[in-house]
Amino acid sequence: MGCRTTTSLLLVWIPLSLICGCGVNQQQQRFRSAFLPPAPRPAFDLASSEPPAVASSIYLSEVPNVVSRTPQLPANATRSDLLIEKAQLHLQQGKKYYQIKDGERARREFDQAVDLMLEASENPSDRQAYDAKLEKMVEAVHGYDLSGLGSAATLQEPQFEKAPLEDILPMTFPVDPKLKAKVREQVQATVSQLPLTVNDAVLGYIHYFSGRGRNTLIAGLRREGRYRPLVQRILDEEGVPQELIHLAQAESGFLPRAMSRKAAGGMWQFVVWRGREYGLNQTRYTDDRLDPEKATRAAARHLRDLYQKFGDWHLAIAAYDCGPGVIERAVERTGYADFFEMRNRRVLPLETTNYVPIILAMTIMSKNAAEYGLDGIVADPPLEYDNVAMTSPTHLALISDITNTPVPEIQSLNPSLLRGLAPAGYSLHVPKGRGSYLMAALQMVPEERRASWRVHQVEDGETLATIGKRYRTAPGTIVAANHMLSASPAVGDQLLIPAAYHEAEPVRTAHTNSTKGHRAAGSKNHATSAHHRRTVASKTRVHRAAGFPAATGQVARASR
């Protein structure tokens, strides 16, 4: 029954009069018995002008949990800096209104936040910090918009994002003559387990990432902060060079749900059949290739196997891209087991000839960050979460209700979930500190109902009629599900809400122009409501500025 826990829970009724000393009638006392453990949020009066404090969130951590209304700004703060602080306050307020299901005020606050950020683009004192905050804000607002800015259970199909490497691989770039001597000196002074080579191919990509591709590189380095501890630990455990973290940066820009039109998915861009060789399986509800931890483990083991096969890291990386069979045949044809020799002889696929130089260029630049102006990048904080094993199919909307965490955040913490349902046996990630509460609360919901039912905490002014209308459930059904002795719920009561979800099939678009594989892939759906076009437009601008196209089609190679 319920999620695995060693805690034995008892349903205990404590009269309210014993707690606060005030008199209440017997019916109301019985109704306010402890149906669920106390919710992890304070009560809030909707008539109040101030929304409640909301627990800090992993994916929306750009705003502190407690926000001062008089932010401390440096003496040289610009008007833009003041606007940025005001925008952050409005974003925080919007989150609070979202959590109490006040969608109208949440939208108003979010719109105001984005407007202020766009207005602040003129002269922020720290342009990189501004760009990072704007990108996070737009992503956050977009996620709330997709979730409906309310308590409705309509969940969008999780979105895929374009792998940034795809647009770069076919390109060649000019070499800056001034770079050659400089980079040679840097490489000579650089300690690296991955052999570093300086030639025109590598220099061309250093030139690209120093100029036109700089935003793509920076965006990946920012997101790298979320996964760096995880990736470094696994690479160390598997005994492969730490520098291989740049392979994930090149492949996906550290986007766990990166998809390519040729068949590869996830942070390490595995195709289905190669992933299965290393334990990355797919079901109707999950795809292990999109799980950062599982995919990193698989990639490290695959790269280690390739190195043991070819005895050279450059060839191992090339084989990761195009497949070991292609490399074997190239060695047989040329008699050389040297990547750059085979590159010069043009016996490798065009994409592969550029793949290794891209990773070497990223490695050299990251190891010499100050020389390339990359030392001031504000990396995202490492992800932290609790794991809760699902013992029955459980809808994410129910998880959201219980943990007081917006559905988009839960989806972001669980990129391998393909639908709005966590199947039995799935290890669900929830924000740090909320796992124990979730485990306890789920035991109060019948296992066979967790895929459809909701939990609602009654707010001021709500009646069974208004609650039933919100969830499209008859008030009498709510009374029966909760064995209520009174039809007048009190503020703070937590009710089970019998509901039904209409699950939409994933939207897939088949691509037929691949010679290396095929994949049905989902395209990104953007909010189209009139009053949120501005938010989506700003999201598009941010993605383009970061090196990603606005429309996220599916793209990738099939050797993984």
386 touches 430 (CB < 8 A): yes
Residue 164 pLDDT greater than 80, yes or no:
no
Confidence of residue 383 (pLDDT cuts 50, 70, 90): very high
Helix (H) or strand (E) holding 136: helix 127-146
Cβ 172 vs Cβ 204: under 8 Å: yes
Rounded to whole angstroms, the Cα distance separating 453 from 204 reads 56
pLDDT at 233 over 90: yes
pLDDT above 90: percentage of residues in the chain: 49
Higher pLDDT, 401 or 65: 401
The CATH number of 165-372 is 1.10.530.10
Q: What angle do the packed helices 177-188 and 350-367 form, to 10 degrees?
A: 60
Q: Give the mean pLDDT of the chain.
A: 77
Pairing of strands 258-259, 161-162: parallel
What single-letter amino acid sits at 473? T
Determine the residue type at 237.
E
For the cut 70, the answer to whether the pLDDT of residue 543 exceeds it is: no
Average pLDDT value for residue range 114-128: 84
Provide mean pLDDT across the span 218-247: 96
DSSP 118-133: HHTTS--S-HHHHHHH
Please tell me the least confidently modeled range out of 476-490, 495-509, 512-526. 512-526
The predicted-structure confidence for 304-315, as pLDDT tens digits, reads as follows 999 999 999 999
Looking at the predicted structure, is the pLDDT value of residue 553 above 70?
A: no
Residue located via tokens 């909760």: 482
pLDDT digits (tens, 9 = 90+) for 19-41: 333 333 433 333 333 345 554 44
pLDDT tens across 196-220, in order?
999 999 999 999 999 989 988 999 9
Is a pLDDT exceeding 70 seen at residue 72?
no
Q: Which residue has the higher pLDDT, 115 or 246?
A: 246
**Which distant-in-sequence residues (6+ apart) come within 8 Å of 405 by Cβ?**
57, 399, 430, 431, 434
SS3 label, residue 430: strand
The pLDDT of residue 140 is above 90: no
Q: How confident is the model at residue 118 (pLDDT cuts 50, 70, 90)?
A: confident
Q: State residue 69 phi and psi, 5-degree precision.
A: -85, -5
245 compared with 39, residue with greater pLDDT: 245
Whether residue 397 contacts residue 407, with contact meaning beta carbons closer than 8 Å, is answered with yes
**pLDDT at position 238 over 90:** yes
| Tokens (6 digits) for 555 | 């793209």
| Buried b or exposed e, range 121-145, using 16+ CB within 10 angstroms | eeebebeeebbbbbbbbbbbbbbbb
Locate all alpha helices (DSSP H) within 414-494, ordered by sequence. Answer: 435-442, 464-471, 475-481
Let me know: does 507 contact 523? Beta carbons within 8 Å.
yes
3-state secondary structure of 88: helix
Q: What is the pLDDT of residue 241?
A: 97
Q: How many CB atoms lie within 10 A of CB 325?
A: 10
Q: Are 373 and 110 in contact, with CB atoms under 8 Å apart?
A: no
Q: Which of 307, 304, 300, 280 is nearest to 234 (CA)?
A: 300
- In the prediction, which pLDDT does 159 show? 61
The percent of residues above 70 in pLDDT, for the chain, comes to 69
Q: Which two tokens stand for residue 73?
A: 């700004």
Structure tokens at 31: 């109704």
Look at the chain and count its residues. Answer: 560
What single-letter DSSP state applies at residue 522? P
Give the Cα separation of 390 and 373 in Å (integer): 45
- Whether the per-residue pLDDT at 53 is higher than 70: the answer is no
What's the whole-number mean pLDDT along residues 546-556?
Answer: 33
Instruction: Please report, for residues 167, 178, 411, 444, 554, the alpha-carbon distance to residue 3 in angstroms, rounded to integers and kept in the order given.
Output: 44, 61, 19, 10, 36
Give the residue from 122, 108, 119, 62 showing the smallest Cα distance to 88.
62
Q: To which residue do tokens 């926000």 refer?
A: 67
Confidence band (pLDDT; 50, 70, 90) for 512? very low
**Confidence label for 513 from pLDDT (cuts 50, 70 and 90):** very low
Find which of 5-14, 99-108, 456-465, 519-528 is predicted with most confidence, using mean pLDDT.
456-465
Q: Using CB atoms within 10 Å of the CB of residue 115, give its burial: 0 to 12 exposed, 13 to 18 middle, 19+ buried.
A: middle
Q: How far apart are CA 490 and CA 494, in angstroms?
A: 9
Whether 533 and 203 have beta carbons less than 8 Å apart is answered as no
Residues facing residue 455 across a β-bridge: 496
Q: Which of 67-81, 113-127, 339-353 has the highest mean pLDDT?
A: 339-353
Q: Mean per-residue pLDDT for 243-266?
A: 91
pLDDT, tens digit, 9 for 90 and up, residues 390-435: 999 999 999 999 998 888 889 999 999 998 999 999 999 999 999 9
